[in-house]
A and B are shown apart, each in its own frame.
Chain A
Amino acid sequence: MVLCLGAILLLASPAVAADNGKADPDIKELLDATDDLQRGDSSMAKVEMHIKTARFERTVTMTAWSEGTEKSLMVINSPVREKGISTLKVGDNIWNYLPKVDRTMKVPPSMMSGAWMGSHFSNDDLVKENRLSEEFSYTLTSRPPDNPEQAWIIELKPKPDAPVVWGRVVVRIRDADRLPIDTRFYDEDNKLVRTLSYSDIRELGGRSVPAKMRIVPADKPGEFTEINYQELKFDVSIAPSTFTLQALRK
């Protein structure tokens, strides 16, 4: 996974759950396809993130490295004011490094759902993905011929005691190329809370992937965060020391 923004990996996680058996083979196949598409043993990406809120609008560019789903490192390249700010994720933990004050801060649990770099993604979105497989059960609710988008629609329901705030999550996957269209997050009252959509399918790193992801909170009209991949490489060699606190400071 490239940016390791959990929301995307939401697609990947049910595939893991499907290994438990019993599931509709269609879903497993589908989700595996999207999963493999996004996953390399390691990856390097150059990304532009565009944030628009009621109060500000800004663009941040960064370089990201990842290894599996557990480790990732993101370094901001611009704007100049924030250049060098880095985020390291190993397992469930996130550290931020602020070059101006030369400090590494572990993001405390109380800040986990704070906005990451001012975007509509939370710190929690960064770490959550690898746990989702244990937390959701899923059903295929619609097959391509049955709906105009020609999409597979999969509904994910959190298991009764799973620590998930959503009431349900709906994923749509296009039949033609098995690429995700969007993921919608609903609360328990079945009210849409946010939508993550994918577009601009391009060849990147030798694979055809959606280069643009946009997250839109339902209760804040006009606001969104958009992520554009400018460069993406899979299976690059990364020194294991990249994902350590020492490296974070460099």
Chain B
Amino acid sequence: MLRLACRNLLRNRTLSAICCASVAGTLTLVIMGNNLNHGTYLTMLEKGISTTAGHVVIQGQGWKDNPDPLKHRVEGATELAAQVQGLHPQAIVLQRTFLGGLLSSASNSVAVAVQAVVAQDERQVTDLHEKIVEGTWLQEDDSRGIVLGFELANKLEVSVGKKVVLMGQGKEDVASRLFRVRGLVRTGAAQADGFLAVVSLAGAQDFLDQPDAASQVSLHLDDPDSTDAVLAAVKSSLGNREGLEILGWKEAIDNLYEFTEVDRATNNKFMFIIGIIGALVILNVILMSVMERMREFGVMLALGMTPSKLRRLILTEGLVLGLASAVLGLLGGSAVTAYLAHAGLDYSGMMGDTMEMSGVAISTHLYAAWDLNHMAASTVAAVLLSISATIYPAWKAGRLQPVEAMRHV
């Protein structure tokens, strides 16, 4: 049966080749597209994790729903950071405070998002210090230093060395504090360049009058897959401390995570439609070859072949064609992915060096990443779609009347 099916397929090489090529091409495209997206999602999530959260974050109870440093914070942040560092020595542990405020210069004022960081530790996790276009990154213990997005500095009409005053809600009254501009960053993300101000944690603690408190203590891991294990360890170690929420990155940056998941689901729907189109090509080819072979089938039926065997023959043809195309497609997709994972796709000519997706700035040089589950699933789907595309032709062939079929020209 299999031999017969193969022989049939090889008899009309052109038709089979076109069919095979279109299915393999579609599959290659699907795999390539998905792996490229997958790579972009990973970059985005990594960026989101490194800049605003961590693989495991410990923050004041209620911070996630209401990020207000006056209401929710981690007290005794230094000690807590040391404690979690002890739990997991290879992780990088950061303390950060996020607050909003109004930054004023003599000529203007802008509402800003302030990130208070431990400058030396921050360097190990984010690349903000590499994005300095003027001046320097914050030095250790520089509680008066501030690094501004360069658009923000333009709006305030200040340059490196000039003073700015941060105002915000303090413990009881309005708090204000003088900072000196140390450096300007250009990240490519409008949000960061226009509204980001980075100060040292000590500066923010003074400003808020919250000595040794931080919004968040976060662990950054080399191996993101170990998140769950580390999360469990941190939870059991800190379980007795009140007023903390301990989250894995999926919860901590749930907006971004959900965005990637929704986008992924949307893409999968598109790819499914592409798959259906591919299947229609197979349907067309098999249907044509069945019509072409009407006489032949008539003879076979007349010689005693049962309709069910004939149906199986045609389904087998579809299966063989599908399998061959899927293997080719998988190979093609893998080859393209391998190339794109290494060389990447450079859109910088079109969109500049960075682009902003869902509030996260990522490089426009996109790299693919291997999404093995999805590759396996789409390969299987290609085979299944090929087979299902042959159901109708097979059913049609099975209903042939030998006499009429033989008369068919």
Contact = CB atoms under 8 A, between A and B. Distances in A.
Interface of A: 91-93, 108-113, 124, 127, 161-167, 185-188, 191, 193, 219
Contact of B104 (A91, A113, A127, A186): A113
29 contacts: A91-B173, A92-B174, A93-B174, A109-B102, A109-B168, A109-B169, A109-B175, A110-B102, A110-B168, A112-B102, A112-B167, A112-B174, A113-B102, A113-B109, A113-B167, A124-B104, A127-B174, A163-B167, A163-B178, A164-B165, A165-B105, A165-B164, A166-B106, A186-B106, A187-B105, A187-B107, A188-B163, A191-B106, A219-B107
Contact of B173 (A92, A124, A167, A191): A92
A167 B106 contact: yes
Contact of B101 (A110, A124, A185): A110
B100 interface: yes
A108 B168 CA distance: 8
Interface in B153-188: 162-169, 173-178
6 nearest interchain CB pairs? A187-B106, A163-B176, A113-B109, A92-B173, A163-B165, A109-B168
Contact of B107 (A91, A162, A163, A193): A193
B144 interface: yes
A166 B111 CA distance: 19
Interface of B: 100-102, 104-107, 109, 111, 144, 162-169, 173-178
A111 B102 CA distance: 8
Which among A93, A113, A164, A185 has the highest number of chain B CB atoms within 10 Å? A113
Given A92-B173, A93-B174, A188-B106, A165 B100 contact: no
Given A109-B101, A167-B106, 6 more contacts: A109-B102, A113-B109, A162-B178, A163-B167, A164-B178, A193-B107
Given A92-B173, A110-B168, A165 B102 contact: no
B163 A165 contact: yes
A215 to B, nearest CB: 14
A108 B169 contact: yes
B164 A110 contact: no
Contacts of B162: 188
Contact of B177 (A163, A185, A186, A219): A163
The residue among B104, B167, B176 with the most chain A CB atoms within 10 A of its own CB is: B176
A92 B164 CA distance: 20
A16 B108 CA distance: 29
A13 to B, nearest CB: 16
A93 B174 CA distance: 7
B38 to A, nearest CB: 39
Contacts of B164: 165
Contacts of A163: 165-167, 176-178
A165 to B, nearest CB: 5
Nearest to B172: A92
A164 B162 CA distance: 12
B346 to A, nearest CB: 40
Contacts of A162: 178
Interface centre among B144, B163, B166 (most CB of A within 10 A): B163
B106 A124 contact: no
A213 B124 CA distance: 55
A60 B109 CA distance: 25
